[in-house]
Structure 1
Amino acid sequence: MAPADAAHTLHTGRATLPYRAAAVITGAVETDGRALRAAPRRRPGPTPPRIVLAFPGGGAQYAGMGRELCAEEEEFDRTVRECAGLFDDGTGTGLTALITADPSDEHARRLLRDPAHGLPALFTVSLATARTLRSWGVEPDAVVGHSLGEYVAAVLSGALSLPDAATLVAVRSRGMSRAAGGGVMLTVPLTERQTLALLAEHPGLDLAAVNGPRSCVVSGPSPAVAEVERALTARGERAVRLSLDAAAHSRLVDPVLPELRAAARTVRARVPGIPLATTLTGKLLDTAPDADHWVAHLRSTVRFSDALATALGEGPAVLVQAGPGGALLQLARQQGHRQLLATLAAFPDREQPGGGRAALLAAAGELWTHGVPLDAAALHRPGRRRVTLPGLPMERRRLWIDPPAVTPAGTASDPGHSAGQAAPDESEPFQLPVWRRTPPVEADRSALRGRWLVAGPPGSPSSERVRAALVAAGAGTVTLDEAVRDPGTPCEGIVVVGPSGDTGDDPAETVSASVLHYAEVARAAASWAHRTCLLHLSHNAQQVESTDRPAAHAAAGLAVPRVLAQEFPGLRWRSVDLPAGP
């Protein structure tokens, strides 16, 4: 059985259950077994959490980052080809070649450190990742982008069209390569105040980003950054350089600003259709981003910490990094947002360049376990088929039959039952009769009136005795034939007499005849049965003493009055069993 067919069957052929688990299956038995055992089981809440897509900035790109996804995901490949048509100028190494290069290709690695090549490539794969997730049914509730990533967020939210965003990214990237290409960006484990105090001692550098309570980025010329790096190392602080040969968000990009402003004035910006938390202010962008926005965005400090808090909002949320690596997720975890349920990487890191589709599927599966719906038709490849899978294990539930509750003394609801003994329940199909000897009931014979339907086997002595007793008590009697001829006239009661003793016929035929006889009674009384009473008179149908041997055909007839009472709500019924014999 193909694992993909099994996944398709589980996703489309099974009912939604309270608990969910997801794992990426490859077909390797041992590996798949470990993945399934390690998959967390979750019970989604009544409503799915908010989905926040985060897009990384410069330094996250690496050679061959979209190699596998371009080959295996149609939407991803389509986006890469669309962006390549916008960025490539027909000279040098093309965008697609860098994205699909071998991870060990040194030439591709060097080119991707250059902002002119690395930033368009990063923009492209981040957008392709987000579009693939959306094609699977994952719709973001908010978006946020770190530096360059805000251009991806702008496209996804509708604030910029893809051609307009590509124009700005190209101008920005080429300008940074020319003007700030000799610069360096350095991550420092300091608070914003500590970083500003450090920069006061090194005035040649700028504060490029505030990523968290104790995570900032400084930017500037390489010699000045190296000096700060040595100072921090001497203090025991670990600083990390970004994989980008440029000093973004520093004074080195000032020569690029006029060109970027001119390009931004030609684009048609719109108000975001999806909430976009901008790193320029850390707040939601509620206007169309104009030229002033994009110029300040390149030159000013990246306020990612504030923008992330704004994007996450108040309710439960899941943060998905739609782009290479998981640096933004690590920053989010360090901030300890209580509403953050999970952080998911939808793209492998540079240390693990393989398994691009597996990472994307794992992220989608985790979202599904949190209650996010997925489009099965888009997620599963064409040609998948439903297969037979083992059934689900039974859910344990208690089926023990408890004894009936004892009715308090003096509250018996049926005159024929003593206090403390519950009356029979006609809605309960399974009853075990218990016999107690009681004195005969004193009946008020003068209370009978009206006409009574007495139906029994032809020539039945019991039927004749019942008719005589009813007449003696002041009631009139009619036969079944008479009731059928006059169905509109109601009867005060019905007495059905079952077969007495051994009829000599086949018991099965006797039971069938009794049921058909009851059907005639029901047809005759259909219009007034809901307001009358029925007495079923049987012979040798119950086992009262241990030596009694009930007649099977007589016992079977006891079920019919119960059924009639369900068919005619309001019909009151009782049964009386007589000893065998005439």
Structure 2
Amino acid sequence: MNEIAIVGLDCRFPGAPDAEAFWDLLMRAGDGGGEVPPDRWRAVECYDPNGSPGRTNTTRGNFVHDPGVFDSDFFAVSPREAEAMDPQQRLFLQAVWRALEDAGMPPHRLADTAVGVYVGVMASEWGQLQLRDYAKVTAQTGAGSSCSMVANRVSYHLNLKGPSLAVDTACSSSLVAVHLAVNALLSGEVDHAVAGGVNLQLTPALGIFYTQAGLSAPDGRCKPFSSVADGIGRGDGVGAVVLRRLEDALADGQQVYAVIRGTAVNQDGRSNGLTAPSRWAQQEVLAAALRRAAASPGQVDFIETHGTGTVLGDMIEAKALGHVYGAGRKQPCAIGSVKGNIGHTEAAAGIAGLIKVALALHHRIVPASPFATRENHKLALRSHGLRLLKTPLRLPTGPVLAGLSSFGMGGTNAHAVLASAPSRARRRSVAGKGLDTPVVFTLSADNQTGLRRNVQAQADWLARRRHESVAPLAWSSNQVKTTLPHRFAVVARSTGELSRKLAEAAADPEEFAIRTGRPEKRHKVAFLFTGQGAQFVGMTRRLYQESALYRGYFDEADEALQPHLGQSVRNLVFAADDRIHQTGHAQPALFAVGYALARTMTGLGVEPAAVLGHSVGEFAAAVAAGVLSLDDAAQLVSARGSLMQALPAGGGMTAVRAGAEEIADLVADEPLVDIAAVNGPGATVLSGALEALERIAQALRRRGVDATPLKVSHAFHSRLMAAMLPEFSRVASAVRPRAPRIPLYSTLLGRATDTEAMDGGYWTSQVVEPVRFADAVHELVNDGLKLLIEIGPKPVLTPLVRKLRLADDLVCLHPAPGEEAGQEDLAEAVAALFLAGIDPLWTGLYGEPDRQLQRLHPYEFSTQRRYFNLPVAIPAALAPQADDRRPAARPAPDDGGGAAENGAPTPSANTDRVTHAVLTAVAETGGYEPGEIALRSRLYEDLGLDSVQVMQLKVRVETALPELSEFTVQQLLPHLTTVGALIAFLREHSTAAVPQAS
């Protein structure tokens, strides 16, 4: 299979800030043209309607809005470097990020892989402006002014290791870049490729050239194949597509916009002029692409032409197209040109056409041509088997082919043949069917402001898609929108509910805070398994009905228990049967719930680093730790429950709000009472004969201590269990336990059992000995396990843990908290885990039909930073005013960077000399305001400093601190982690780290 899938795209063209707006512009035959913006050049100063030397014949063109806007913080680019970067580099970098997300491929997950980057770029006006002012050339200017860096920036910032190159074949550059990317994929050189193009008009120079060459349209508009065609209208633009081999895209379940069946590139050679088009070369490149696509011209339904709107260019192209595509057709072949909507975007023209064709094949409709009603009849399109579309063309069902041309002024021609995506890759939005199963919708961003911005953007976008099923949208968000440090998660049952919750969170700071998190590190998780007393009729019934994952694991436990119980525990648990409270049934039932919940959580990617079980909860804990097999645990817990059930009645248990040491004297006076559990300093459970328990209870009440009888059938964990021990010991001794694969914090021992085998003697002792829950959980938390998940049918242990107040940052969760617990509670727990830093395996929350990638609204970058400093290298009369040329002031960072929030001392009279020097030097090197630098700011990741800037920083610091003892770059490098680390290092080398005088 030699087909290449277009799996993702993004673009920004005049009048169209994104792909959705671009399609809308095309479908309404819109015009992206307008006057030259004031931040480019003063059009009136270089305008002459007659196009005299040094002047253009137009003050109009096609421009993207505010191309200086760049989210430098997102890409960790320092302000100084951002100001030096060609805006084309910045535009393409953001477009690639959004295109990768559109492809369902989180950019961070492609890091360190051989992804190829191919970009068409021909305009070097930024470099021409920057490098002519020698006094302002800096270490950043060179890289910032290079066309090759348009591709290299993407590879660098996303850490991509494949080929990375800029292509300049003039107006065919970006389609040639696509051709190179396609061949790299077909040869196996890369498995993923990004291809695109970018063009930005920064000076009137090329417009003057077009005017002098007789190619410039006075109204700044391209009018392809029109009777009023009178030249080129220049255009800005950027576009990027993500390409994969079709079989790989299908295997990974990616949506496919269209398929590239064949591409070809050739050259005019020595024809009728270096800059004039050649009909014969065009015919040859069209035919070559068709051969590679294994397609005949008659199979092609429409062609996106080069179509510049020059008299000579349109005539030659019409003849070439007619010769190859028009001959012998029953119906004329539809043709069009996107240049009629957005102008000639030069190096980005090919990618603009490719995106138009891909969207047309995706939507199965071809937009009308803006100037079709004024067709140039001198071109005799009909006689060439061609036609312009006056109205949109509905494409037929089944496979559809399209052609795409892009011709360079120097004679390098490119053509591509595309096909509609195969039906299995054309998954459209899935219509909702009432309320879906609850799922988790996730987003992430580089900071809190960015997160809120993207939450609102998704809310607005989803509000227009309320009819779609929420599950595939949430699944897609889990796959694509989870890799950035600040996280957001919300549970919803429908797209309408999701849109509403997103909007509410964006508008309400308290609601937003609840649903967000910024995990500094991945917490270690511990499972706490609930003991007897938590059971109730129908426990986890709803979760069993709604979660296929839980249902499968519960059925596993039921199958393991049946040979020992002689009945299905599933039928007992989910029936309205009060026998669930009988010990012989309660313990196996709780084991089944505990096993199934634990396996459900691990099936969702939540792997415990340790486990703890309260009394009978230790059996499921032992399975989770690898100590017991499911079958062995099922045998033990069944025998334990039935033997306890067979004991004579007459025993009971009492909960006392006092420590064990406080009531030791009363217990010592009653030989038939034992301490059964120590759950905390004020939570002790007594077990024994009922009469003796009542005497102790009365004595405690006289002391003002609460004592509450528990509803139990027997005196568990007391000497009254002794009669069952011989038989249970016999059963337990037959089990062969293994060493725990993870620590099991024993509530029998009150500590971890990471080396001891939990043999028959252990399980026998566990029947009569007290439960030392408080000791065990205290050690567990002290060992660094701060994320606790209770595994049981309702919260019993987590309230006890909270009362112990073991750590301020302790997080306690429960995936099934009560009688109505279902998939929604499980989803809420997974959402909370995601916010805490766990990366779940999301598959378990979705049925297979819902696990299909859907396209979400692309990432919304910040628009607060503006870098568009055009130097006065163009004639003074054409230069922007001083106010236009200054980069916008950087607002104070919202998190992670501001002095107020991070305790970063602003250089002042009260700052010690070394700190003052470092803060000032870092700010000057990166172009930051001093107050933006925090002690914990990372020099590379947060502030975007590179090796050149590190050397500049060293020189600045040494100049400011002449008293420093000598140190080498090699000595310095290990301390360039954070600003604070750098300050500490320099203090060691300073003899005068004292407050400076005011």
Q: Distance in 2 between matches of 1:271 and 1:129?
A: 23
Q: Distance in 2 between matches of 1:390 and 1:229?
A: 64
Match of 2:822 in 1: 356
Q: How does 1:66-81 map to 2 (within 5 A)?
A: 66-81=540-555
- Cα pair 1:80 1:125 within 8 Å, conserved: yes
Q: Distance in 2 between matches of 1:81 and 1:21?
A: 34
Matched, 1:431 2:431: no
CA gap of 1:279–1:42, structure 2 versus 1, over 3 A, is: same
Match of 1:84 in 2: 558
Match of 2:582 in 1: 114
Task: Tell me the secondary structure at the aligned position of residue 525 of structure 2.
Answer: strand
- Cα pair 1:61 1:122 within 8 Å, conserved: yes
Cα offset for 1:311?
2.2
Q: How does 1:90-129 map to 2 (within 5 A)?
A: 94-101=568-575, 105=576, 108-109=577-578, 111-129=579-597
More displaced stretch, 210-219 vs 35-44 = 35-44
Instruction: Report the structure number with the largest CA radius of gyration.
Output: 1
Partner letter of residue 251 of structure 1? R
CA gap of 1:225–1:333, structure 2 versus 1, over 3 A, is: same
Q: Distance in 2 between matches of 1:293 and 1:32?
A: 54
CA gap of 1:373–1:390, structure 2 versus 1, over 3 A, is: same
Task: Tell me the secondary structure at the aligned position of residue 684 of structure 2.
Answer: strand
Match of 2:647 in 1: 179
Out of 616, 627, 630, the position equivalent to 1:162 is 630
- Cα pair 2:658 2:683 within 8 Å, conserved: yes
Q: In angstroms, what is the RMSD of aligned CA positions? A: 2.7
Consecutive unaligned residues of structure 1, counting only runs of 5 or more, are 402-428, 434-540, 547-582
Match of 1:133 in 2: 601
Out of 748, 752, 760, the position equivalent to 1:291 is 760
Task: Tell me the secondary structure at the aligned position of residue 179 of structure 1.
Answer: coil
Matched, 1:314 2:783: yes
Matched, 1:50 2:524: yes
CA gap of 1:379–1:170, structure 2 versus 1, over 3 A, is: same
Q: How does 1:276-287 map to 2 (within 5 A)?
A: 276-285=744-753, 286-287=755-756
- Cα pair 1:180 1:248 within 8 Å, conserved: no
- Cα pair 2:531 2:617 within 8 Å, conserved: yes
Q: Distance in 1 between matches of 2:527 and 2:595?
A: 11
- Cα pair 1:50 1:316 within 8 Å, conserved: yes
Residue by residue, what CA displacement relative to the aligned partner does 1:143-187 show, whole Å, maximum 9, x if unpaired?
Answer: 000000111111111101111111111111111112264322222
Q: Distance in 1 between matches of 2:596 and 2:659?
A: 34
Q: Distance in 2 between matches of 1:312 and 1:180?
A: 39
Match of 1:16 in 2: 483
* Percentage identity across paired residues of the two chains: 32
**Residues matched between the structures, number:** 403
Out of 250, 261, 265, the position equivalent to 2:718 is 250
Cα offset for 1:30?
6.6
Q: Distance in 1 between matches of 2:707 and 2:572?
A: 28
- Cα pair 2:565 2:638 within 8 Å, conserved: no
- Cα pair 1:66 1:356 within 8 Å, conserved: yes
Partner letter of residue 545 of structure 2? A
Match of 1:27 in 2: 494
Residue by residue, what CA displacement relative to the aligned partner does 1:490-532 show, whole Å, maximum 9, x if unpaired?
Answer: xxxxxxxxxxxxxxxxxxxxxxxxxxxxxxxxxxxxxxxxxxx
- Cα pair 2:613 2:620 within 8 Å, conserved: yes
Q: Distance in 1 between matches of 2:701 and 2:491?
A: 41
Partner letter of residue 296 of structure 1? S
Partner letter of residue 555 of structure 2? R
Q: Distance in 2 between matches of 1:177 and 1:220?
A: 16
Task: Tell me the secondary structure at the aligned position of residue 97 of structure 1.
Answer: helix
Q: How does 1:395-474 map to 2 (within 5 A)?
A: 395=862, 397-399=864-866, 430-433=870-873
Match of 1:553 in 2: none
Cα offset for 1:380?
2.5
Partner letter of residue 477 of structure 2? L
Partner letter of residue 801 of structure 2? A
TM-score (norm 1): 0.64
Cα offset for 1:382?
1.0
Task: Tell me the secondary structure at the aligned position of residue 810 of structure 2.
Answer: strand
Cα offset for 1:225?
2.8
- Cα pair 1:202 1:224 within 8 Å, conserved: yes
Out of 709, 728, 731, the position equivalent to 1:260 is 728
Q: Distance in 1 between matches of 2:832 and 2:637?
A: 32
Match of 2:430 in 1: none
- Cα pair 2:750 2:772 within 8 Å, conserved: yes
Task: Tell me the secondary structure at the aligned position of residue 348 of structure 1.
Answer: coil
Cα offset for 1:291?
1.4
More displaced stretch, 340-349 vs 169-178 = 340-349
Match of 1:561 in 2: none
Partner letter of residue 306 of structure 1? D
Task: Tell me the secondary structure at the aligned position of residue 383 of structure 1.
Answer: helix
More displaced stretch, 195-204 vs 372-381 = 195-204
More displaced stretch, 140-149 vs 276-285 = 276-285
Q: Distance in 2 between matches of 1:201 and 1:340?
A: 42
Q: Distance in 1 between matches of 2:597 and 2:826?
A: 8
- Cα pair 2:673 2:718 within 8 Å, conserved: yes
Cα offset for 1:90?
9.1
Q: Distance in 2 between matches of 1:29 and 1:227?
A: 60
- Cα pair 1:184 1:247 within 8 Å, conserved: yes
Out of 671, 683, 693, the position equivalent to 1:203 is 671
Match of 1:387 in 2: 854
Q: Distance in 1 between matches of 2:878 and 2:841?
A: 67
CA gap of 1:78–1:181, structure 2 versus 1, over 3 A, is: farther
- Cα pair 2:588 2:638 within 8 Å, conserved: yes
CA gap of 1:398–1:196, structure 2 versus 1, over 3 A, is: same
Cα offset for 1:289?
0.8
Cα offset for 1:266?
0.6
TM-score (norm 2): 0.38
Cα offset for 1:226?
3.6
Match of 1:372 in 2: 838
Cα offset for 1:89?
5.4
Out of 32, 38, 59, the position equivalent to 2:533 is 59
Cα offset for 1:247?
1.3
Partner letter of residue 484 of structure 2? L
Partner letter of residue 68 of structure 1? R
Residue by residue, what CA displacement relative to the aligned partner does 1:112-165 show, whole Å, maximum 9, x if unpaired?
Answer: 221100010001101100001111111000000000011111111110111111
Q: How does 1:333-352 map to 2 (within 5 A)?
A: 333-338=802-807, 340-349=809-818
Cα offset for 1:262?
0.8
Residue by residue, what CA displacement relative to the aligned partner does 1:318-366 show, whole Å, maximum 9, x if unpaired?
Answer: 00001122121111111111265310012122xxx11322222211111
Q: Distance in 2 between matches of 1:31 and 1:232?
A: 53
CA gap of 1:140–1:257, structure 2 versus 1, over 3 A, is: same
Task: Tell me the secondary structure at the aligned position of residue 325 of structure 1.
Answer: coil
Cα offset for 1:267?
0.8
Cα offset for 1:375?
1.0
Cα offset for 1:278?
0.5
Match of 1:479 in 2: none
Q: Distance in 2 between matches of 1:292 and 1:305?
A: 23
Q: Distance in 2 between matches of 1:162 and 1:100?
A: 21
CA gap of 1:544–1:280, structure 2 versus 1, over 3 A, is: closer
Residue by residue, what CA displacement relative to the aligned partner does 1:355-401 show, whole Å, maximum 9, x if unpaired?
Answer: 32222221111111111011123332211233344444443543367
CA gap of 1:249–1:340, structure 2 versus 1, over 3 A, is: farther
Match of 2:136 in 1: none
Q: Distance in 2 between matches of 1:269 and 1:372?
A: 30
Partner letter of residue 538 of structure 2? G
CA gap of 1:373–1:544, structure 2 versus 1, over 3 A, is: closer
